[in-house]
Structure 1
Amino acid sequence: MRDDVSSWPVGRLLSVAARLVERRFHDFLAAHQLSHAGLIALHHLTPGPRTQRELAAACRVTDQTMSRTIEHLRRSGHVVKRADPHDRRRMLVELTEAGDAVLAMAREKERDSGDLLGAVEDYDRFREELIRLITVT
């Protein structure tokens, strides 16, 4: 198989690598009662509480999609909802200690574990190259 892979074009290599990493990451997230959307939401809650609408905008999803994500995160104990002290009609979504811990674990697992990225030797350089690949037009 290794000889066959070495003949693949870059596009196919990227596609297969993305699917493999996504599957590994999905398995990790599922084991911690998270989804990709939930992980993104937790990331956007690290600066502090946000309204559902603010969180939806930060995650670039609809309010309805964010509502489902928040409810799943709430049931899993990763976030809480509470009334905004400045406007009791608004609800704020806030990261819990459990949510903060699982986010830290996911970041560590991504960066330092061969389980998710496999053979990546220089995480920072790899990440920079991916960003450049995505953002350079």
Structure 2
Amino acid sequence: MAAAHPDERLGFLLSLRGELTGARIRAALGVVGLHPRNAMTLMHLAPGATSQRELATTMAVDPSQLVAILNELESSGLCERRRDPADRRRHIVEITPAGQEALERMDEAVKEAERELFGNLTEAERTLLRNLLDRVVVDPTTHECGE
């Protein structure tokens, strides 16, 4: 029995399209000098300040990995950490005005990339794709988002 053509294997097809999509999104993020993991962190910080522990849980990343991400963002002036006055063991993380500006520029670049990537899909098809991808089983402990 002959092996299936790669286009017939959903995993291979999704992997290839994922790599191509990832490359296009990384190029868009490069416009503002952000790595995917840094951009994702800023997106999670956009709604408002949060604790460092809650951010790690929300992003499904190891707290030590989050520290490295936050160190990069903080040294670039895009976020800041401070001790919670109510609990000195807890750190509060917040996006800065410079981080908000970078996020807005990044959002425009990513929107353009998504128009290129998904321009042939109707809104209904994009919704269906999003819903189907939400159902793909991925163990977040076995990979790093955006790297």
TM over 0.5: yes
Q: Which residue of 1 aligns with 2:128?
A: 129
Q: Does 1:36 align with 2:70?
A: no
Matches within 5 A, 1:7-86: 8-9=7-8, 11=10, 12-86=12-86
When residues 54 and 31 of structure 1 are mapped into structure 2, their CA distance, relative to the original with a 3 A threshold, is: same
RMSD: 2.6
When residues 123 and 58 of structure 1 are mapped into structure 2, their CA distance, relative to the original with a 3 A threshold, is: farther
Letter in 2 for 1:21: T
Aligned length: 129
**Structure 2: how far apart are the matches of 1:55 and 1:101?**
20
CA shift at 1:64, angstroms? 0.4
1:79 and 1:93 in contact (8 A); partners too? yes
Q: Which residue of 2 aligns with 1:109?
A: 109
Q: Structure 1 unaligned segments of length 5 or more: list them.
A: 1-6
What SS class does the counterpart of residue 118 from structure 2 fall into? Answer: coil
What SS class does the counterpart of residue 32 from structure 1 fall into? Answer: coil
Cα deviation digits, residues 87-108 of structure 1 (max 9, x gap): 3443211101121122222222
- Specify which structure has the bigger relative contact order, considering alpha-carbon pairs within 8 angstroms and separated by 6 or more residues: 2
CA shift at 1:126, angstroms? 4.7
Q: Which residue of 1 aligns with 2:142?
A: none
> What fraction of aligned residue pairs are identical, expressed as a percent?
29
**Structure 1: how far apart are the matches of 2:109 and 2:122?**
12
Moved over 6 A (4+): none
